[in-house]
Amino acid sequence: MQKSILILGACGQIGTELTIELRNKFGSDNIVASDIREGSESLMQSGPFELLDATNYEAIEDVVMHYEIDEVYLMAAMLSATAEKFPMRAWNLNMNSLFNVLNLAKEKKISKVFWPSSIAVFGPNTPKENTGQSTIMEPSTVYGISKQAGERWCEYYFKKFDVDVRSVRYPGLISWKTMPGGGTTDYAVEIYHQALEKGLYECFLSEETKLPMMYMEDAIKATINLMESPAENLTIRSSYNLGSMSFSPKEITQSIQKHIPNFKATYVPDFRQQIADSWPSSVDDSDARKDWNWKPNFDLNSTTAEMLDNLKGI
Ligand SMILES: NC(=O)c1ccc[n+]([C@@H]2O[C@H](COP(=O)([O-])OP(=O)(O)OC[C@H]3O[C@@H](n4cnc5c(N)ncnc54)[C@H](O)[C@@H]3O)[C@@H](O)[C@H]2O)c1
């Protein structure tokens, strides 16, 4: 039987590629993209689209009923760097959209939910290397506090109301199709664009700031694999640690220099340095590997080759 899926916040960095992959996999007509704004041509023309505010419960419910939606992927959110500028707007968007989707599942109007968490759930007191699934958290950013609270609510809805909600803590994501939307790891996308356009990049993090990162193709694969896994295999209903590679601005620069030897980066840390300093350098994702066979395909050098090759062709 064909299932119908609704993506909220489909026009963003992850939503765009996720929507297109879900359409390839399950058929375009069954995958309804939605956002408060229109998206790229490839997204808008490849299947149904609705202008939809993820904070409006009734509006989401109408679309769910109209298309007989089974599963919702909630990608609408305000990201870490922007959320520090608009704390209350970030809290309202990140929490209300989650409650809307969890409540639709509680009311049995949908059967499955995907909601992404982030490495931002960790904080300055968290052990930095190979950070465990369950450890000291104490997030110190508005965004991290909203993700931490969101994780608690996901687990609560699973335990109390039998809501089938699934989640991963994405690291910083690198993609060439869509620009990032106001996060602290945005530099790792901008640097490839600037390397090709100017041969020069001014980085807003210091050269030694090592953070967990992932190529978008791996992130999309993880998301869909988790959603397709049998429920009984899943032991974590807050959010799974998810890792693939970790690197610093200096290391990504060196990786680009293998292709563009004259490329130069300078480092002028801004307010995002403090956010990055509160996050882990690498994460232990053994639960995801054990429960649903998570295994990434891309490392830093293969990501660099893919990014430069594809961006050259645009
Ligand atoms: N990109 C990353 O590196 C990263 C890392 C960790 C977690 N995440 C999480 O993944 C999810 C998606 O992130 P992204 O990078 O694609 O973000 P993004 O900012 O690129 O996209 C978010 C989308 O949500 C839309 N949106 C904003 N307010 C809305 C509303 N009220 N109703 C409907 N849509 C609305 C925006 O127009 C945008 O298209 C978020 O929950 C984010 O916290 C992302």
Phi, psi (5° rounding) for residue 308? -65, -45
Residues 6+ apart with CB under 8 A from 6: 32, 34, 60, 63, 64, 67, 69, 71, 72, 73, 110
Is beta strand 5-8 parallel, antiparallel or unpaired with respect to 240-241?
Answer: unpaired
Report the C-alpha gap between 188 and 213 in whole angstroms: 9
Domains annotated on the chain, with CATH: 5-170+216-241 (3.40.50.720), 172-213+245-312 (3.90.25.10)
Residue 187 annotated in active site: no
Whose structure tokens read 């939910």?
113
CA of 294 to the centre of ligand 1 (A): 23
The 10s digit of each residue's pLDDT in 172-190 is 999 999 999 899 999 999 9
Task: Report pLDDT digits (tens) over 100-136.
Answer: 999 999 999 999 999 999 999 999 999 999 999 999 9
SS3 157: helix
The catalytic position among 73, 143, 240, 267 is 143
| Whether the predicted pLDDT of 2 surpasses 90 | no
**68 CA from centroid of ligand 1 (Å):** 24
To test ligand 1's pocket by mutation, which of 8, 11, 14, 94 has the most ligand atoms within 8 angstroms of CB? Answer: 14
pLDDT(1) > 80: no
SS3 assignment, position 118 = strand
Tokens linked to 62: 């109408």
Residue 24, both tokens: 């390839």
Q: How far is the CA of 133 from the centre of ligand 1 (A)?
A: 23
Within 8 A by CB and 6+ apart from 66, the residues are none
Atom number, ligand 1, closest to the C-alpha of residue 179 = 20
Q: How far apart are CA 246 and CA 272, in angstroms?
A: 18
Atom from ligand 1 closest to the CA of residue 78: 19
* DSSP collapsed to 3 states, 42-67: HHHHCCCEEECCCCCHHHHHHHHHHC
* Mean of pLDDT values over 213-228: 98
What angle do the packed helices 187-197 and 249-257 form, to 10 degrees? 30
